[in-house]
Structure 1
Amino acid sequence: MSSSRVISCQAAVAWKAGDALVIEEVQVSPPQPLEIRLKVVCTALCRSDFSAWESQSIFPRIFGHEASGIVESVGEGVTEFKEGDHVLTVFIGECMTCRHCKSGKSNVCQVLGLERRGVMHSDQQTRFSIKGKPVYHYCAVSSFSEYTVVHSGCAVKVSPIAPLEKICLLSCGVAGGLGAAWNVADISEGSTVVIFGLGTVGLAVAHGAKLRGASRIIGVDTNPEKCEKAKAFGVTEVVNSNDCNEPIQQVIKRMTDGGADYSFECIGDTEMITTALQSCCDGWGVTVTLGVPKVKPEIAAHFALFLSGRTLKGSMLGGLKPKSDLPSLVNMYINKEIMIDEFITHNLRFEEINKAFDLMREGKCLRCVIHMPK
């Protein structure tokens, strides 16, 4: 059902980089053609939200992209969704018609790819305002608001029996890690895997590697709390790089008789990409990078690493096509074939959203799920 009314609701607005979010009354415009307006049910704080809040320059802004919700109204031309549908939001859409969407080789939609300017894909305008002044979007979602508007290609209809307070993690972090293990690296049974960074994404990679039958899954981190939790997700050995007296790549190569079959960089540090490459074996070693760097985006690696047969791959949402692949992940969770609950370390009320940022800064959480007002 199309709606022409503006909704006033509560949203957590970032006014300046690094400043605490402020709960404000915002106006949310009705959905335009090919858009839907959602009642956000649950949203989680992802590391990329945190990094952008610390460093980006587009403000005022509503962050949040890892979310679940219920369709409140649909814009003209939307046939896929109706009022009351349960959905996941996604930061990269799937238009189903562009070259990339039809290729079977890519999930980076040419129409609804990563949006960085804080406006909607369709008309380069915002759907949020405060007293007539624009408030900008983040990653085409902006889920730190009771209501939000997204392009219909940036939402995925899911089973109504799936708990929205759990499956919101599949809209980014957990799905991205599983997809990186299964689609991008295509981990083989009996292989050796090393994962740099044991946050949600790194542990989801470990979970995916275990389900693929990897024989050794080595986790590398500097946070003792994360190292302790890692084995529940399939990690067989943990290395705290702060305790090493030599470069960590030398430690890994010695542990694995020349290097791992697969390595994953899940930190967002381009220097660590080189370390991950050096931790792979000659001949067939594959390194996958999933992290988003805040500084120094350029990668430096000696050409001999590639001449010797190593491969470096990038991963966005684990190579998953949102509309094509996420519903099956939701069904896998319903059937107890994949873990989600174990990634949730905190459940917070909307008014406690700044506590989620504090917990992430202190390294005391995997995922904080923020429950929006009912």
Structure 2
Amino acid sequence: MSTTGVIRCKAAVAWEPGKPLTIEDVEVAPPKVHEVRIKEYLTGQFRQFPLVLGHEAAGIVESVTKCSQGDKVIPLFLPQCGECERCLSPKTNRCRKNWANTQASVMADGTSRISYKGQQVYQFLGVGSFSQYTVVPDTSLAKIRSDAPLDKVCLLGCGVSTGYGAVVKAAKVEERSSCAVFGLGADGLAAIMGCQAAKASRIIGVDVNPERFEKARLFGATECVNPNDHAKTIQEVLLDITSGGVDYALECVGSPVVMNSAFESTRDAWGTCVIVGWSESEAINIKVEKILMGRTLKGTYFGVEE
């Protein structure tokens, strides 16, 4: 049964940078207009503290608003209002509604719905899924099938959508092309899935952890390369084994150094590199000549087409 009052529940709270999360008894306020409160099933460096982390989740609607009580949903850190210029454009669905607030880990009114002993606790990216209950805008929900397994579909809240979307939406990988995926975590494995779905003929997984190679091959990688196994740079290795570079490179690490390597591993004249990994402060150092020779460098957020 839905409730209208404050809910007390457990949440993992980050009190300051570099310190372990602690499990606290927090209070989750009822949703305001155009907000939905969710009972979380599973949850997946910002400056705001204290902070409830987490942005990958799936749950069941607890309060009745735009959705119905009991609906299974996935909360999204990138909304879909359906009304702004970007939502109405065929070029992108990167909605900007309440963008500044969600990046600041608060709701549209500038506050959070989670508190601890009267102190506001921020919600990471406006979600805060490391809590048994959370509140999100109703534009930041995707309703899913009633028989969807919540312990699996939670990954659609970021990892799978981001990596897969980077391939099919941002890179637009073509059939019989060659691809290199840098970083074989959740995003990277999803990117490999996307490359396989796009019928790429060669899918090269790149990671310094060889224990990830077996899983990468299971997801569709045709081969895997460990940069630590070579005296040359990884971009030189890829240029050698592909006779000039890959058609597409997906950077799924979030390291400017790896971003440079991914870009430089692409073939001149038509190679495309898509940056998937997040890096907040560092810059990429790209040689202008590499761009002038016909390569494309682009980014994606949540796998969204730009």
TM class by smaller structure:
over 0.9
Alignment of 1:353-372 (within 5 A): none
CA distance in 2, matches of 1:294, 1:97: 29
Question: Is 1:264 matched with 2:250?
Answer: yes
Structure in which a larger fraction of residues adopt helix: 1
**Count of residue pairs the alignment pairs up:** 305
CA distance in 2, matches of 1:143, 1:235: 31
State the partner residue of 2:97: 111
CA distance in 1, matches of 2:61, 2:159: 22
For the structure 1 residues 223 and 294, does the alpha-carbon distance in structure 2 shift closer, same or farther, using more than 3 Å as the test?
A: farther
Question: Is 1:307 matched with 2:297?
Answer: no
State the partner residue of 1:25: 25
SS of the equivalent of 1:37 reads: strand
Cα deviations by residue, 1:24-52 (Å, 9 ceiling, x for unpaired): 111111000000000001112xxxxxxx2
1:227/1:240 contact within 8 Å kept? no
Within the candidate set 271, 296, 306, 1:285 is matched to 271
Question: Is 1:35 matched with 2:25?
Answer: no
CA distance in 2, matches of 1:27, 1:232: 43
Question: Is 1:72 matched with 2:59?
Answer: no
CA displacement at 1:229 relative to structure 2: 2.2
TM-score calculated relative to the size of structure 2: 0.96
| Residue segments in structure 2 that go unaligned for 5+ positions in a row | none
Within the candidate set 161, 166, 172, 2:147 is matched to 161
State the partner residue of 2:110: 124
CA distance in 1, matches of 2:147, 2:3: 26
1:196/1:276 contact within 8 Å kept? yes
1:3/1:31 contact within 8 Å kept? no
| Residue segments in structure 1 that go unaligned for 5+ positions in a row | 45-51, 322-374
CA distance in 2, matches of 1:62, 1:239: 37
TM-score calculated relative to the size of structure 1: 0.79
Alignment of 1:176-255 (within 5 A): 176-255=162-241
State the partner residue of 1:318: 303
CA displacement at 1:118 relative to structure 2: 2.1
State the partner residue of 2:8: 8
CA displacement at 1:271 relative to structure 2: 2.1
Aligned-residue CA RMSD (Å): 1.6
State the partner residue of 1:87: 73
CA distance in 2, matches of 1:4, 1:242: 56
SS of the equivalent of 1:136 reads: strand
